Structure 1
Amino acid sequence: MPKLEKCIGSYGMELTSSLRVLMIKNCPQLNEFTLFQSYSSFDAEQKSWFTSLGKLSIGQCPHIMNNWPILPLREMRALKELELMDLHVRRVSVPSLEKLVLAKMPILEFCSSSPPLQFLPSQGDQMEWTSNLRKLNIHDCPCLIVSHPLPPCGQISELSIRGVPTLATMSMAHRKSTIKSNELCVLDDSILIFHNLKAITSFAITNCPNLVSLPSEAFSQLIALERLSIVNCPNLTMSSIMSEVLQGNSRSASSLVLPSLKALKTVRCGLTGRWLTQMLSHSQSLENLQLNGCPQIKFLSISQPRETEGTSSLGSAVMTSTQDEQELKLPYNLLCSLKTLLIEDSLDLEFRGNDRGFAGFTSLTCLRLHDCPELVSSLLGEMNDDGIVEVGLLPPSLEILSLSHLPENLKAFTPQGLLHLKELSLSSSPCLKSVQLHSCTALKQLEITGCVQLALLEGMQFLTSLRISGCVQLAVLEGMQFFTSLRSLFIELNPELSCAWDLKLQEQEQCGNQIQLFPSSLEEFHIWNLTDRVQSHLLSCLPAITKLDIWRSLELTSLELGCCTALKELAIGHCDSLASIEGLHLCRNLTSLKVINSPGLGSCLELVSHQQGASRIWSGLETLEISDASVLSTPLCTQLTSLRCLQLSHRGLVSLTEEQETALQLLTSLHQFKFSNCLNLLSLPANLHRLTSLQWLCIIQCQSITRLPDMGLPLSLRRIDLVRCSEELGIQCRMAETEKLRVYF
């Protein structure tokens, strides 16, 4: 009730004693409220009226309780959930709670069980009021003093801290925890109570530029931890720990044991090869290892059994020489457990080890090496006289292989021995001229990007998915009609390939040639740089496709879909000149339509909605994504009787017109509403609450939206997703959360 100024009357225990929930929200003008008229009255008498109150939520009512010295709630023993937002009180005293939310409390200094104790002031007081705490959220409380580490108890299932100067930004939910801080130097028990984090399975340390140390003994308490991620911590070298080892005190390093660890991810960190070697030697079940931008690691090798057995292995792994500081020795115990290995952005990384290379990793099914030219060169080996690349240094168990920056002397990629390979990706290899895959009989997906000299592709008869882009010399895709298993084709046309296709299509059309350019099995077709000349013949050859994506085709002016009667999904994006779609009304199986950044198509869709038989098309549509809000007209929305998902994606959109908001109310079947990359959108639809079937609201990168609609949300809503949105909107959504409505960040 944004205009409410007064709420006064005669209240007493006869009215309030049975009250279970009290929520006062979004009343920015409210300045007189009998229940909170004065601190002295509330403290002396009124707080005793709420003998049964279990939940109290006050938000965006900045004028009530203004400048109270304290909000005294400790004697309200039935209170289990407390949410306070945008209040001007200095202290809050509380009973034992299950949920506590404090947001935008600009002068709040203390939160405790009794004044003048600080927030979590002592172990005894902490146990008194936090032993039952399950959810704790503190956002934008710049004066709050927190004198103890978090989380306060092991039973907490949800934790979110942001905008508290004495604390790092941290969150915990669903047994996953993250922490980030520009000031944090050491992550130890003074910051986190690791004993209370025993149950977490995932821990991410991100954007901590000054972090230099992770105490091993503290982290070793995370006995259930399965995934550890360290991202953007350039000064985290762990050199202090390793110096203790070199001086003979190995207790700190040897105690770094994460028995349940299955996945380790490091991105742009200063971690040394020596420290990672020591850490991984204790990981008996590691399945996923990702290294991205670790400049301290120059060499990669595989340890032998004698180097990793027993406690003496630590000495042999870290005390041999200074050069070992730069070498990551993958422990022998990983040979049978590691399934996924990703190494990226390591230009100088070299493989140093035995002649078998990675072949000893008998369980490795996924290998991705990107921007690691030296490593790729050493693992591929030399090219034989017959042009075959020796890949004996790669494990035959591989099912997914992704390589970039192949050696410059490698002109032909013709692997042997990868009999289980299902997915292959080759990228950023400007000297590569041919790819021949006859021996890869299990291969299903092939992606080649940025290979500018590539002119020959062979051995693709077993493929189900083919993706080619940035291969400007590729002018021939001979025999594609014989790829009888091909289901999905993504192709970025270049002038040479466009010309070749145009000639073949014309010849086929003029001569009645029965040999098609594409196999009849093709179901999904994704194409970039499509021209009018090619499309006029192309789509008539694809009557069976069910999914068509046309992207970044700047010269395309018209599209003929009359032959694509089986089409179910159509996506058009960044086609600046496209102004006409013919035959859309014949696509009667269409269930999904996406039109993005193609300014000429808004009026085109409006015209289609008035054509005879158009209602049959629109009535079957279930998903619609648009960047032009003018499409939301009353004639069109009236026909969208089956629409379940609507997405608006447009950076320039500021607001919806009254007509567009009215048209939205006609979408009676709408289940999911997405706003994506609407950077300038100032508000959500005012009448959003009238979408009575809406269950899921997604708001992604819409930083200008700062509040929920004044008229509220639909009663049917069950989920809100927020991604990179304003803090103000996030706080409002948290305040709107209930047992039925969940909010995800």
Structure 2
Amino acid sequence: MLLHPLPPAENTQVSVQPLLTYPALEKNSNDLSVMSSKELRVLDAKILAFQNLTDVTSLHIGHCPNLVFLSFEGFRQLLNLRKMVIVSCGNLVSSCIVPGVSETWNATNYPAFPRLGHLKIESCGGIAGKWLTEMLPHMQSLEELDIEDCPQMKSISIHRPRQEVETGRLASQAVLPRLAQDEFGLYIPLNILSTLEKLHIRRCPGMQLYGSKEGYGGFTSLTELVITGCPMLLSSADERFSLPPSVPDLHIEFLPRRLQPYFPENTSIRFLLVHESPDLQYLNLHFCTALQELQIHNCRQLAVLEDMQYLSSLRILSIEMNPELSASWVRKCQEVEEGSSHARLLPPLLGKLSIRHLQDDLAPYLLAHLPFLRSLVVLNSPNLIFLQLGCLATLKNLWIEDCRSLTSLQGSLSYLEVCFCDSQNLTSLQLGSLAALKDLTVYSCDWLTPLETLPSLGNLTDLAIYDCRSIAPLLELLSRQPEGFSIFPQLERLYVDDSSALATSFCKHLTSLRYLRITDSDVICFTDEQEKALQLLTSLQDLSFLGFLNLIDLPAVLHSLHSLKKLDVKGCPRISRLPEKGLPPSLELVAIERCSEELQEQCRMLTTGKLKVQIYNYG
């Protein structure tokens, strides 16, 4: 038996699974969810006791594909509702009038959503613009509007009707029919123009912009505009289309050939993301002097990026190059070097550069003009062979990924963090003196064997080597060092995925190592040499064995690690027991995760002194 409607009283916690025509209900504190009913058609007072939901601040309606009607009289009673999300309700159509139900959204001038601040409509293929047009005038405090994957919304207009401007009241029945004669058009009323701060429109492929020439400039409070997956929404705009001067964050795609007309002289944009614009050829950023971060991706025909040198506030640039843009940048850099041009290519105070498809001919010119660069990320540059970083005296972070042809990296720098990822052919690493280097990560660099600067890494504190066949040559190199010489005197943390790193020639240099994390899915047992090497780590405090899928026994010498305080064993299903000689008395914590029941049971019996045991078993 189920009493209708629910909940029976305000502040009641409710949890109901879907029953025939009744949806799943979850009410916890001030959040209410109405979900997962294929039969539900009308959400009214027969389903929900709206008078008992005045405490609800968040409402989620989802996965009710045949829902066609939301009760205006009911929603009027949700006086404290601040957020409403409607997802996958494909039959919520433009008209809210259902046979047998007389109420409509336009029957009164009193708002139904007086405090609603955030409205999101997603994957509702049946919702056309008219349905939302009828609801928006009731939202007097709306600050954020998200529209995603609603293909029946064919147009958006922010033209302000004369009657609205004069009276400032809710759009009445007399006004709306004239505005919304187009079933598929979305009209933004005056009350939304003055309150909306964030507007996100995604994946509405047929939506076009209609209305006044001021375009989005009519949104007087807008601070964030996101337009993605809407190829016609910008290309249909008038040439005088403009943005509100107050917008600091702009995400746009499918831009027309030229973008210059879209930026007014007094724009305050601080973050600009331009992507998925295959027709864009020309981008002028002259008036974006407040811009702090710029991202440009998947603009394959972009050939002219004008007036970048005027972006005095720009600190972060993420860009995907193409042959035309690279060639134009090389020409401009050459003009600067030859003295025929005094204009820099990029603003000199740029601090972080992330660049894809970097070419050999552009790299030396580009990096020579960035005297204050602190972070450099080079991605997906398969044709890059040589990279000279000697001019980047302030560089602190270097990340190189998927540069399969890179064979030489040179420069005398003082990095704090360095990472090499998917650079399989990197055979020459000549970075001069790296006296300040503290953090080095090498990932998927199979042939990194010379490592000519290793003897100078005196201040290295963190070293990670993953997916590399270079560990064995590295150990061979280290074994040639003079007796008593410590190549890593400051190294505190080591991360490796190859148990061969436990070699005497290597471990004898790790005099300051406190943390060791090691993984190896192939090894079955540790050799005598590896166990002896482990005993050399006399300062080790934290030891982790991760993902040893085939390992049968933990090292037998763990009891001799007198500084060890924490032992972590995760994802080692074949280990069934602790070492025969036990664990060191210094140990304070043992953490076991996804290991055998036998090992877990044995660890539960470790109740001596201050030792704590944590056991996790997921599934």
TM-score range, shorter chain: 0.5 to 0.7
> Of residues 169, 173, 187 in structure 2, which corresponds to 1:329?
187
Shift of 1:492: 0.8
CA distance in 2, matches of 1:640, 1:169: 58
SS in 2 for 1:473: helix
CA distance in 1, matches of 2:445, 2:51: 51
Shift of 1:267: 1.9
SS in 2 for 1:336: helix
AA aligned to 1:259 is: P
AA aligned to 1:435 is: L
Map 1:328-477 → 2, pairs under 5 A = 328-379=186-237, 381-382=238-239, 390-391=240-241, 393-408=242-257, 410=258, 415-461=263-309, 462=312, 463-469=314-320, 471-475=322-326, 476-477=328-329
CA distance in 1, matches of 2:34, 2:375: 42
SS in 2 for 1:359: helix
CA distance in 1, matches of 2:270, 2:285: 12
* Map of 2:368 onto structure 1: 517
* Map of 1:548 onto structure 2: 398
SS in 1 for 2:121: strand
CA distance in 2, matches of 1:316, 1:148: 35
* Map of 2:339 onto structure 1: none
> Of residues 520, 543, 549 in structure 2, which corresponds to 1:656?
549
Shift of 1:522: 1.0
Change (3 A) 1:330 1:482: closer
Contact kept? 2:59, 2:85, Cα under 8 Å: yes
Change (3 A) 1:706 1:656: closer
Contact kept? 1:501, 1:534, Cα under 8 Å: no
Q: Which has the higher helix share?
A: 1
SS in 1 for 2:171: helix
1:619-639 CA distance string (max 9 Å, x none): 157xx7xxx844796579988
Map 1:529-678 → 2, pairs under 5 A = 529-530=380-381, 534-537=385-388, 539-556=389-406, 560=409, 563-568=412-417, 570-575=418-423, 586=434, 589-591=437-439, 593=441, 595=443, 601-604=467-470, 611=478, 615-616=488-489, 618-619=491-492, 629-630=497-498, 656-658=549-551
CA distance in 1, matches of 2:64, 2:391: 55
CA RMSD across the alignment: 5.3
Change (3 A) 1:233 1:317: farther
* Map of 1:306 onto structure 2: 163
* Map of 2:355 onto structure 1: 491
* Map of 1:212 onto structure 2: 68
Tell whether 2:155 aligns with 1:282: no
CA distance in 1, matches of 2:181, 2:204: 17
Change (3 A) 1:617 1:201: farther
AA aligned to 1:424 is: L
Change (3 A) 1:153 1:416: closer
CA distance in 2, matches of 1:203, 1:575: 49
Change (3 A) 1:184 1:531: same
Contact kept? 1:645, 1:670, Cα under 8 Å: no
The farther-off stretch of 471-480 and 442-451 is 471-480
Shift of 1:154: 2.1
* Map of 1:101 onto structure 2: none
Contact kept? 1:684, 1:709, Cα under 8 Å: no
SS in 2 for 1:324: coil
> Of residues 108, 121, 126 in structure 2, which corresponds to 1:266?
121
- If the length of structure 2 is used for normalisation, what is the TM-score? 0.68
Shift of 1:212: 3.3
Shift of 1:491: 0.8
Map 1:134-173 → 2, pairs under 5 A = 154=11, 156=13
Shift of 1:489: 0.8
AA aligned to 1:366 is: E
AA aligned to 1:460 is: M
Change (3 A) 1:198 1:321: closer
Q: Which runs of 5+ in 2 are unaligned?
A: 334-343, 448-465, 479-484, 522-545, 605-610
Tell whether 2:93 aligns with 1:237: yes
Shift of 1:400: 1.8
1:262-293 CA distance string (max 9 Å, x none): 11122221323222123221222211112122
1:492-544 CA distance string (max 9 Å, x none): 125xx433335x49xxxxxxxxxx6241211121111345854442x333343
SS in 2 for 1:281: helix
Contact kept? 1:580, 1:601, Cα under 8 Å: no
Contact kept? 1:350, 1:378, Cα under 8 Å: yes
Contact kept? 2:223, 2:249, Cα under 8 Å: yes
Change (3 A) 1:148 1:440: closer
Contact kept? 2:10, 2:54, Cα under 8 Å: no
Shift of 1:348: 2.2
Q: Which runs of 5+ in 1 are unaligned?
A: 1-120, 124-146, 383-389, 506-515, 676-680, 698-703, 721-727, 733-745
SS in 1 for 2:217: helix
CA distance in 1, matches of 2:489, 2:19: 56
AA aligned to 1:486 is: L
CA distance in 2, matches of 1:365, 1:687: 60
* Map of 1:185 onto structure 2: 40
* Map of 2:79 onto structure 1: 223
Contact kept? 1:490, 1:526, Cα under 8 Å: yes
Contact kept? 2:360, 2:386, Cα under 8 Å: no
| Count, aligned residues | 528
Shift of 1:332: 0.3
